[in-house]
């Protein structure tokens, strides 16, 4: 669990430093960013033995964001690091016995 959380930290730090250096903004990432915040709060709640049982649909939101991304190096970096964050948070949720929410992608 600690390794997964370390991965979240490292990926978030890399994204923060690279977006600051390039002055880039990814407005479409707002929904995924909100879901990541919610997931972190939900995982913390579950770790405290609360009744939280479901994580936000991180993978679906990630895939929707990437489907609209460009083919440049910055987009590739964002895709890679957000993928690491989503995988790590889903792993922690699984270790805590949580389920992932599904969204309607139709």
What is the average pLDDT across 84-94? 93
Distance of alpha carbon 103 from alpha carbon 1, whole angstroms: 26
DSSP state of 51: S
The rounded mean pLDDT for the chain is 83
| Helices 30-47 + 73-95 axis angle, to 10 | 20
Q: Decide: pTM greater than 0.75.
A: yes
Q: What pLDDT does residue 14 have?
A: 82
pLDDT band at 93 (very low <50, low <70, confident <90, very high): very high
pLDDT band at 73 (very low <50, low <70, confident <90, very high): confident
27 pLDDT higher than 70: no
Distance of alpha carbon 19 from alpha carbon 67, whole angstroms: 20
DSSP state of 60: H
> What are the φ and ψ backbone dihedral angles of 11, each rounded to 5 degrees?
-65, -40
Instruction: Give alpha helix (H) positions in 23-72.
Output: 30-47, 58-67
């Amino acid at each position: 669990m600690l390794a997964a959380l370390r991965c979240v930290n490292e990926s978030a730090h890399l994204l923060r430093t690279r977006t600051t250096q390039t002055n880039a903004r990814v407005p479409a990432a707002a929904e995924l960013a909100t879901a990541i915040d919610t997931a972190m709060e939900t995982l913390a709640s579950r770790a405290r033995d609360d009744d939280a049982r479901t994580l936000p649909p991180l993978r679906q939101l990630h895939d929707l964001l990437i489907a609209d991304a460009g083919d440049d190096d910055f987009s590739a970096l964002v895709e890679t690091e957000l993928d690491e964050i989503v995988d790590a948070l889903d792993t922690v949720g699984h270790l805590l016995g949580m389920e992932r929410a599904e969204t309607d992608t139709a």
